[in-house]
A = this chain, B = another copy of it.
Amino acid sequence: MSTEKKTVKDFKIEGNILAPFTPFKENGDVDLEIIPKYVDLILKYNIPNVFVLGTTGEGATLTVEERKQVTEAWARAVDNKPLTIIAHVGGANLRESMDLASHAETVDGVQAIAATGSVYYKPKTEDVEVDYIKQIAAEAPSLPFFYYDIDFMTGIKLNVSSLAQLATKVIPTFRGIKHSSKSIASMVNCSMIGGVQVINGAVDQYLAALTCGMEWPVLGVPCTAPIATKIKEAYDQGDMKTAREQQEYLQRLYNLRDSVGGGNGVLRAIVKLIDGIDFGRSRCPIPYPTQDNIDTLKQGLIDLEFL
């Protein structure tokens, strides 16, 4: 629930997580009014968590002030509804991330935070990265902290399980990792640490991630939630045939996405086609599909029975 924070120590994410788009107006301004509609859609899909302003949420294209407004808008929209908000506060640099963490601490309804490291000046060792996130986490002492590892976007190539082991020792609020890097060996090593929740950020690997001990996935589009749920249920019952079939179904959707260029713009178009909500176009330099590509997408979604 949004108004009642779990204690930091006991905090655990339960259930699917959506990484929601940030809605934009025609002129590129943030469109806060779409967010309540998105909350309704998310709940309709029975998704109990949102990871706000990460890579799918395009937090990196927003000013710090806009990020605060968007985070608050999510908290207002959720109100008492059963949706846990994890706010991504990783940003261009330490000072801005600390500012965002400090802000998140004050927003009733935010139940956890997450952050990447510094992208322009990359950390060279796990120690430095832990020092960096420690300062962010300290600004939100009542909020569980998750390290956001996504090497193919940040260019940060660290040993995440070593980092997590260090972090558990020196960051009181450290609770886990959003593991979006693709390495299976790293996932296994992270899961073996104990006391660290590892969240699957690469849903094209969800079933594989389950075998590594990661329970819940971060989804880019709501329509994948029922599929992720089927994968999880089948996996829990040891019905690997069904689990695999559903993962293949997901893969067909991603293949379709990639066939028209991939990226967040395509994901926005998919949700518009399936669920009828227009989140606007991403900010430059994230491209939006052409009308031809949207037509291809539409036919592909029909073929895959999403439409």
Which residues in A have some Cβ–Cβ distance to B below 8 Å? 58, 60-64, 66, 91-96, 99, 117-124, 128-129, 131-132, 135, 153-155, 182-185, 188-189, 191-192, 204-205, 207-208, 210-213, 235, 237-240, 243-244, 247-248, 251, 254-255, 282-287
Q: A118-B285, A123-B285 are in contact. Are A185 and B251 (CB under 8 A)?
A: yes
In the complex, chain B residues whose CB is within 8 Å of the CB of A254 = 185
How far apart are the CA atoms of A280 and B62 in the complex, in Å? 30
Chain B nearest CB, measured from A208 CB (Å)? 4
Q: Which residue of B192, B237, B255 contacts A238 across the interface (Cβ within 8 Å)?
A: B237
Across the interface, do A283 and B185 meet the contact criterion of CB distance under 8 Å?
no
In the assembled complex, the Cα of A284 lies from the Cα of B244 at a distance in Å of: 38
* A128 to B212 CA separation, bound complex (whole angstroms): 36
* Overall SS of chain A's interface: helix
Report the minimal beta-carbon distance from A183 to chain B, rounded to whole angstroms. Answer: 7
CA distance A207 to B235 in the complex (A): 13
Q: A60-B120, A235-B240, A240-B235 are in contact. Are A283 and B93 (CB under 8 A)?
A: yes
A94 adjacent to B284 (CB under 8 Å): yes
Is A62 a contact partner of B93 (Cβ separation < 8 A)? yes
Question: Does B61 lie within 8 Å of A94, measured CB to CB?
Answer: yes
Q: How far is the CA of A251 from the CA of B192 in the complex (A)?
A: 10
Residues of B within 8 Å of A63, CB to CB, are 64, 93, 95-96, 99
Distance in angstroms between the alpha carbons of A112 and B238 in the assembled complex: 34
Nearest-Cβ distance from residue A7 to partner chain B, whole angstroms: 28
Give Cα A132–Cα B285 distance, bound, in whole angstroms.
7
Contact present for A188 and B251 (CB under 8 Å) = yes
Smallest beta-carbon distance A120→chain B, Å: 4
> A95, B124: Cβ atoms under 8 Å?
no
A60/B284 contact (C-beta < 8 A), A185-B251, A185-B254 known: no
Please state if B189 and A255 are interface contacts (CB–CB under 8 Å): yes
Q: Which of B118, B189, B205 contacts A185 (CB 8 A)?
A: B205
Smallest distance from the beta carbon of A180 to chain B beta carbons, Å?
Answer: 13
A181 CB, nearest partner CB in chain B, Å? 11
Residues of chain B within 8 A (CB-CB) of A238 are: 237-240
A194 CB to nearest chain B CB (Å): 11
Whether the Cβ atoms of A60 and B93 lie closer than 8 Å is yes
CB–CB B118/A119 < 8 A: no
Residue from A58, A155, A185, A286 having most chain B Cβ neighbours under 10 A: A185
Write the chain B residue with the least CB distance to A150.
Answer: B120
A122 touches B244 (CB 8 A): no
Write out the residue numbers on chain B whose beta carbons fall within 8 Å of the beta carbon of A185. 204-205, 251, 254
Q: Chain B residues with Cβ under 8 A from A62's Cβ?
A: 93, 95
From A234, which residue of chain B is reached at the shortest CB distance? B238
Contacts of A153 in B (CB 8 A): 120
List of B residues within 8 angstroms of A235 by Cβ: 240
Inter-chain contacts of A132 with B (CB < 8 A): 284-285
Q: Is the CB of A208 within 8 A of B184?
A: yes
